[in-house]
């Protein structure tokens, strides 16, 4: 059992979760994730490690409420215990001095990109961060990311911030202005990562995405997280989750992520004791 130290709503659909797990806190690196089960009847779901405190022995993730498991997580409180908290899983992101690196994050990816921006900055890169939100009230961790970035842009659909645009167009505008960007990292929903990859492709800038296929064991045994990258079969949990976004078969990923759509709705209705539509 792992003890929850903090579970708090950051913005209407996004929560922070801090769990006491000294072994994971000691070893984890940017780009890795944990597998978590909110209760003993639930399923195993992966969440990216967004921060950690090695002294305190704590590991932090940020999750978006989308279905049964994340709803269950969103009502847990400090002091509660969860039956499964496994990690760190996945290969750590490659951190080197590249020059200028653009980090793009949306929804839960705003938090997931944070340790990466911090490590890239520490490695001597110029870090440009772009945060994508639908509207100003959905933005969180701006200060944390600003502290690790040389430049920070907020791409939103309302007029509250500097770039009133969708993230691919914001990226294109930045790429036109900045003389050289050597690498892009993008984390968030599949749509955000695929459109960011599409935007950078004509510029030939290596774009790393953190893929989020359905996962079960997270250790390469079940095959649930199969993705195709550069025409080859990969398992995102052990070969990734980071991959070259220009080589990912996005159509396949979109379609595999939808495999259990009906069951997911049914599960949520059952859990909320509503009738299945």
Q: Which residues are near ligand FES by CB under 6 A?
A: 215-218, 220-225, 235, 237
Q: By the 8 A CB rule, do 226 and 234 touch?
A: yes
* DSSP assignments along 214-236, one per residue: --SSSSSSS-TTEEEETTEEEEH
Angle ∠(260,36,145) on CA atoms, nearest 5: 100
Q: Which does 128 bind (CB under 5 to 8 A by kind): ligand FAD, ligand FES, none?
A: none
Say what the alpha-carbon torsion angle 27, 33, 34, 37 is, to the nearest 10 degrees.
170
Q: How far is the CB of 133 from ligand FAD (least distance, A)?
A: 15
Query: Closer CB to ligand FES, residue 142 or residue 217?
Result: 217
66 binds, among ligand FES, ligand FAD, none (CB under 5 to 8 A by kind): ligand FAD
> Which of 17, 154 has the CB closer to ligand FAD?
17
Q: Which is nearer to ligand FES, 26 or 233 (CB)?
A: 233
SS (H, E, C) 110-130: HHHCHHHHHHHHHCCCEEEEE
Rounded least distance, CB 40 to ligand FES, Å: 20
User: Does residue 244 contact residue 228 with C-beta atoms inside 8 Å?
Assistant: no
- Would you say 88 or 106 has its CB closer to ligand FES? 88
| Distance in angstroms between the alpha carbons of the first and the last residue of the chain | 36
Residues that bind ligand FAD (CB under 6 A): 33, 43, 45-48, 61-64, 66-70, 108, 112, 212-215, 241, 257, 261, 264
CB closer to ligand FAD out of 21 and 61: 61
SS3 257: helix
CB of 10 to ligand FAD, least distance (A): 11
Shortest Cβ distance from residue 203 to ligand FAD (Å)?
A: 27
């Amino acid at each position: 059992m792992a003890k929850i130290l903090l579970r708090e709503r950051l913005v209407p659909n996004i929560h922070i979760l801090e769990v006491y797990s000294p072994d994971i806190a000691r070893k984890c690196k940017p780009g890795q994730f944990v597998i978590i089960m909110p209760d003993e009847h639930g399923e195993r779901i992966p969440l990216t490690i967004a921060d950690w405190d090695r002294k305190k022995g704590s590991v932090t993730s940020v999750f978006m409420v989308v279905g049964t498991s994340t709803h269950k997580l969103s009502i847990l409180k400090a002091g509660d215990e969860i039956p499964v908290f496994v990690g760190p899983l996945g290969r750590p992101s490659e951190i080197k001095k590249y020059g200028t690196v653009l980090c793009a994050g949306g929804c839960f990816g705003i938090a997931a990109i944070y340790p990466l921006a911090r490590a890239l900055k520490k490695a001597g890169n110029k870090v440009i961060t772009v945060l994508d939100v639908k509207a100003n009230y959905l933005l969180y961790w701006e200060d944390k990311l600003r502290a690790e970035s040389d430049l920070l842009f907020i791409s939103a659909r309302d007029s509250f911030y500097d770039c009133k645009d969708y993230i691919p167009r914001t990226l294109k505008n930045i790429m036109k202005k900045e003389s050289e960007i050597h690498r892009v990292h993008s984390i968030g929903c599949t749509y955000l990562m695929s459109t960011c990859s599409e935007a950078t492709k004509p510029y030939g800038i290596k774009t790393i995405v953190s893929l989020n296929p359905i996962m079960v064991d997270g250790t390469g045994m079940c095959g649930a997280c199969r993705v195709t990258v550069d025409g080859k079969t990969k398992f995102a949990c052990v070969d990734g989750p980071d991959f070259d976004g220009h080589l990912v078969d996005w159509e396949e990923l979109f379609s595999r992520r939808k495999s259990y759509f009906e069951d997911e709705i049914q599960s949520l209705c059952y859990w909320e004791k509503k009738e299945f539509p």
